[in-house]
Amino acid sequence: MRVLITGNLGFVGQATQKYFAEKGITSIGYDIMAGCDVRDPEQLDAAVISGKGFGPIDRILHLAAIARFAEADKDPKIAFETNAMGTRNIALIAKKHHIPVVYASTGSTYMPIKEEPPITEEFPVMGNSVYGCSKAVGEKYIETYGAEGFPWMILRYAHLYGKEKRMHGLIGGFMDRIQRGLAPTLYGGKQSNDFTYIEDVAHANYLAITAPWDKWNQSYNIGTGEELTAEQAGVKICKMAKWKGKIEKKGQREVDPGRFVYDMTKANVMLGFYPKYPFEKGLKEMFSDETQKTDTKPKTV
CATH number at residue 20: 3.40.50.720
pLDDT value of position 294: 46
DSSP state of 102: E
Q: What is the pLDDT of residue 290?
A: 64
pLDDT at 295: 46
Cα–Cα distances in Å, from 183 out to 174, 189, 228, 251, 279? Answer: 8, 15, 21, 16, 21
Are 95 and 136 within one domain? yes
Closest CA to 47 of 102, 99, 83: 99
> Are residues 135 and 184 part of one domain?
no
Task: Please give the pLDDT value at position 156.
Answer: 98
8 A C-beta contact, residue 1 and residue 58:
yes
Q: Which run of H or E residues covers position 187?
A: strand 185-187
pLDDT tens digit sequence for 165-186: 877 789 999 999 999 999 999 9
Tell me the HSE value of 8 on the side-chain side, using a 13 A CA sphere.
20
8 A C-beta contact, residue 40 and residue 87: no
d(CA 294, CA 300): 17
Contact 213, 160 (CB under 8 A): no
Instruction: For residues 93 and 175, state if they share a domain.
Output: no
Buried b (16+ CB within 10 A) or exposed e, 177-214: bbbeeebbebbebebbbbbbbbbbbbbbbbbbbebeee
Number of domains in the chain: 2
Residue 186 sits in a domain of what CATH number? 3.90.25.10
Q: Which pLDDT tens digit goes with each residue over 216-267?
A: 999 999 999 999 999 999 999 999 999 999 999 999 877 678 999 999 999 9
Torsion of CA 130, 131, 136, 139, to 10 degrees: 140
Q: What proportions of the chain, in percent to the nearest 5, are helix, strand and coil?
A: 45, 15, 40
Final residue in a domain of this structure, among 204, 222, 240:
222
Domain shared by 212 and 100, yes or no: yes
- Give the end-to-end CA distance of the chain in Å, rounded to a whole number: 59
| Residues 150, 9 share a domain | yes
Number of neighbouring beta carbons within 10 Å of residue 67: 22
Q: Do residues 72 and 102 both lie within one domain?
A: yes
> Distance of CA 105 to CAs 136, 167, 185, 241, Å?
8, 22, 29, 32
CA 257 vs. chain centroid, Å, equals: 17
Closest CA to 261 of 195, 185, 202, 171: 195
Spans of the chain, pLDDT less than 70:
255, 290-301
Structural domain range at position 92:
2-161+195-222
